[in-house]
């Protein structure tokens, strides 16, 4: 082989591997016209979608989600609820029976596609309940755009979960996952997850949505209302414009969002306030005695936005709406649908902080939540714990904001039904196992990282992660890449144990021997997940002396942490079950010693971690 040819080969190979690694994301622009028949809970729609293929692949098909087709007896969602029985989501059941099974015919959800065209050419499509496969007339080349036009009509389903009509708090229409929505295509292929109740994934898109509805309705939505003076509720001097059918037209726009959601009710009140250096916040809800905490929550919500801006990254959209609707709470672009009635201010604020928190970990950092629910739910729960700890400090001081989650995890593990966090959100056998795998395991993933790397390094990691990946679709690999770079540590082992398995951490103080001028301690790793160990003593004159026993696998040791200075001892090989070391304090100088004074380690049996010296 001559040298010139070799150079060409190396050059070509270089381009190919660079191409394979390059990040890309698809994009869409929706322009929709919606006409609502409020009496019959139906609407007709047409939309134009300009879709851009930024991937290196030529696309011959595209997929759409038709979520509302799931809301009927015998649907896959109904089958799933029936099969899971009491292991499933109780909100989808009534007295242990699937609520979907008894939806009357005229309240079955439906999205009926009349036709779809690509650049004016009618296309063939095939619907498998909530997924529509569309064969393109002209394949879509890399780095090119195409235009789809589509006409459909829809029946707003009985309110079962998230979307629907007449929810139990009396909201007429919760319009979520309500339009034919183009699926995401990325390095993992098409995100064609059947809708059976859980998470979503979508390309970033711009929305221009015009909604015609009876003039008595007020709409809450995630987006900018472009004509407040022509509709009810937003502008005190509004002069609502109606057509000959007494309908007003609402004009909403939004940029760079995964979804456009809205709700409509005749008894909605709209409140708003502006967060300094943050978004304009809207409250759209039925004002009554039952929703009295909404008014009181405003200073807490203001603080929440400020804390998130400072600790994770700036909120990027101009506004955010808390809308009474749906059930429980669910996050969407620039808004959430939450139940309005609440037993306490803390309960309402907790819900607002969680769902609002998804603006960062779901909307701005748009993980594939169907595949990795532990990232969006877990990271949201992590920041929820931090924010709520500041907004409502516990009456008894705790070592850190995560003590409640750690105890919840320990109690759950004892039940023996844990499933690995790596499983797809919709494919857990047990609903509680899904919740712990996603919300709690995901939250504790960051708590353990803070323990391993030190809190300063975790905080820098999360900020850098946000800076590099906001308004993109990061994966756990992208996060770990940054965490390893910032800490200098190898952290792959931890991710593998914590997310892919249900193995647990269990360390203990096995033996303590006192000498004249020193004390020798033997620790034992009784569990399956190796960890570095923070060890401390409390001296009789009330000083805390900290030691770090690094885990060999990280190959770089923790440099600092917020829980005080520490001495670094010899590393502990992960294969070794016991570790013995000597400290220059004798019995009379020590009042207590043990593992993890900061109480961050997710040790499932912390009882044997501490020794009181008498």
How far is the C-alpha of 367 from the C-alpha of 476, rounded, in Å?
9
Give least dist CB 358 to Zn ion, A.
Answer: 6
Give least dist CB 383 to Zn ion, A.
Answer: 11
Q: 425 or 532: whose CB is closer to Zn ion? A: 425
Using an 8 Å Cβ cutoff, are 268 and 262 in contact?
Answer: no
Give least dist CB 439 to Zn ion, A.
Answer: 7
Q: 408 or 564: whose CB is closer to Zn ion? A: 408
Q: 265 or 377: whose CB is closer to Zn ion? A: 377
Closest CA to 460 of 449, 471, 472: 449
Using an 8 Å Cβ cutoff, are 356 and 297 in contact?
Answer: no
Q: 377 or 603: whose CB is closer to Zn ion? A: 377
> Interface with Zn ion by CB under 5 A: which range of 115-123, 370-378, 477-485, 562-570?
370-378
> Interface with Zn ion by CB under 5 A: which range of 142-150, 308-316, 373-381, 465-473?
373-381
> Interface with Zn ion by CB under 5 A: which range of 16-24, 207-215, 372-380, 384-392?
372-380
Give least dist CB 354 to Zn ion, A.
Answer: 6
Closest CA to 550 of 420, 411, 414, 453: 453
Q: 158 or 438: whose CB is closer to Zn ion? A: 438
Using an 8 Å Cβ cutoff, are 163 and 41 in contact?
Answer: no
* DSSP strands (E only) in 258-404: 262-265, 269-274, 280-285, 319-324, 329-332, 335-338
Q: 265 or 384: whose CB is closer to Zn ion? A: 384
Q: 161 or 457: whose CB is closer to Zn ion? A: 161
Using an 8 Å Cβ cutoff, are 182 and 28 in contact?
Answer: yes
Helix/strand/coil for 269: strand
> Interface with Zn ion by CB under 5 A: which range of 376-384, 502-510, 546-554, 584-592?
376-384
Binding-site string for Zn ion from residue 27 to residue 56, where x marks contact by CB under 5 A and - marks none = ------------------------------
Using an 8 Å Cβ cutoff, are 552 and 573 in contact?
Answer: yes
| Chain residue at closest Cβ approach to Zn ion | 377
Give least dist CB 404 to Zn ion, A.
Answer: 17
Q: 377 or 506: whose CB is closer to Zn ion? A: 377
Max CA distance (Å), the chain: 96
Give least dist CB 235 to Zn ion, A.
Answer: 33
How far is the C-alpha of 514 from the C-alpha of 497, rounded, in Å?
36
Closest CA to 146 of 63, 27, 57, 256: 27
How far is the C-alpha of 260 from the C-alpha of 119, rounded, in Å?
24
Using an 8 Å Cβ cutoff, are 191 and 175 in contact?
Answer: no
Helix/strand/coil for 262: strand
Give least dist CB 385 to Zn ion, A.
Answer: 13
How far is the C-alpha of 197 from the C-alpha of 76, rounded, in Å?
10
Give least dist CB 389 to Zn ion, A.
Answer: 18
Binding-site string for Zn ion from residue 324 to residue 363, where x marks contact by CB under 5 A and - marks none = ----------------------------------------
Total number of residues that touch Zn ion (CB under 5 A): 1
How far is the C-alpha of 272 from the C-alpha of 201, rounded, in Å?
29
Give least dist CB 353 to Zn ion, A.
Answer: 11
Give least dist CB 434 to Zn ion, A.
Answer: 12
Binding-site string for Zn ion from residue 377 to residue 416, where x marks contact by CB under 5 A and - marks none = x---------------------------------------
Q: 180 or 326: whose CB is closer to Zn ion? A: 326
Using an 8 Å Cβ cutoff, are 298 and 273 in contact?
Answer: yes
How far is the C-alpha of 223 from the C-alpha of 151, rounded, in Å?
23
Q: 107 or 377: whose CB is closer to Zn ion? A: 377
Pairing of strands 247-257, 204-214: antiparallel
Site for Zn ion in 485-544 (CB under 5 A): none
Residues of the shown chain interacting with Zn ion in the complex, contacts defined by CB under 5 A: 377
């Amino acid at each position: 082989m001559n040298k010139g040819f070799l150079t060409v080969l190396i050059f070509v190979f270089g381009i190919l591997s660079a191409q394979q690694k390059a990040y890309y994301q698809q994009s869409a622009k929706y322009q929709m016209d919606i006409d609502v028949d409020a009496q019959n809970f139906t609407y007709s729609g047409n939309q134009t979608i300009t879709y851009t293929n930024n991937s290196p692949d030529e696309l011959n098909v595209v997929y759409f989600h038709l979520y509302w087709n799931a809301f009927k007896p015998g649907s896959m969602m109904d089958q799933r609820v029936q099969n899971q029985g009491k292991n499933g989501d109780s909100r989808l059941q009534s007295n242990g029976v699937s609520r979907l099974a008894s939806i009357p015919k005229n309240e079955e959800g439906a999205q009926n596609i009349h036709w779809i065209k690509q650049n004016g050419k009618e296309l063939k499509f095939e619907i498998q309940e909530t997924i529509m496969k569309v064969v393109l007339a002209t394949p879509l080349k890399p780095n090119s755009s195409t235009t789809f036009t589509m006409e459909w009509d829809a029946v707003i389903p009985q309110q079962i979960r998230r979307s629907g009509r007449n929810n139990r708090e009396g909201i007429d229409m919760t319009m979520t996952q309500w339009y034919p929505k183009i699926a995401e295509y990325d390095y993992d292929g098409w995100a064609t997850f059947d809708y059976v109740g859980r998470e979503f994934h979508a390309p970033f898109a711009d929305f221009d949505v015009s909604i015609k509805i009876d003039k008595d309705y007020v709409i809450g939505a995630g987006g900018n209302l472009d004509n407040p003076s022509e509709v009810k509720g937003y502008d005190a001097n509004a002069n609502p414009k109606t057509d000959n059918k007494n309908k007003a037209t609402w004009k909403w726009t939004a940029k760079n969002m995964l979804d456009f959601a809205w709700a409509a009710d005749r008894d909605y009140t709209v409140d708003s306030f502006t967060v300094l250096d943050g978004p304009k916040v809207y409250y759209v809800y039925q004002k009554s005695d039952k929703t009295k905490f909404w008014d009181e929550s405003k200073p807490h919500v203001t603080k929440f936005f400020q804390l998130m801006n400072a600790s994770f990254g700036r909120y990027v959209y101009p506004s955010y709406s808390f809308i009474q609707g749906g059930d429980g709470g669910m996050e969407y672009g620039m808004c959430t649908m939450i139940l309005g009635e609440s037993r306490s201010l803390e309960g309402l604020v907790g819900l607002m902080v969680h769902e609002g928190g998804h603006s960062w970990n779901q909307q701005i950092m748009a993980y594939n939540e169907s595949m990795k629910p532990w990232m969006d739910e877990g990271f949201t729960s992590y920041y929820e714990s931090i924010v709520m700890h500041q907004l409502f400090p516990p009456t008894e001081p705790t070592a850190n904001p995560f003590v409640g989650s750690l105890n919840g995890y320990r109690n759950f593990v004892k039940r023996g039904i844990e499933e690995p966090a790596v499983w797809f959100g919709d494919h857990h056998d047990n609903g509680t196992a899904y919740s712990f795998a996603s919300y709690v395991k995901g939250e504790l993933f960051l708590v353990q990282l803070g323990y391993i790397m030190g809190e300063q390094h975790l905080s820098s990691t999360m900020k850098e992660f946000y800076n590099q990946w906001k308004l993109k679709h990061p994966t756990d690999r992208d996060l770990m890449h940054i965490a390893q770079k910032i800490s200098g540590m190898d952290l792959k082992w931890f991710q593998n144990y914590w997310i892919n398995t249900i193995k647990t951490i269990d360390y203990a103080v096995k033996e303590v021997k006192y000498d004249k001028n020193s004390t020798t301690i033997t620790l034992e790793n009784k569990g399956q997940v190796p960890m570095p160990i923070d060890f401390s003593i409390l001296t009789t004159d009330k000083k805390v002396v900290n030691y770090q026993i690094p885990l060999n696998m990280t190959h770089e040791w923790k440099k600092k942490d917020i829980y005080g200075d520490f001495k670094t001892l010899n590393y502990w090989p992960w294969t070794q079950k016991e570790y013995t070391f000597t400290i220059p304090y004798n019995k009379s100088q020590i009042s207590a010693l043990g593992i993890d004074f900061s109480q961050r380690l997710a040790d499932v049996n912390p009882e044997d971690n501490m020794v009181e010296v008498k």
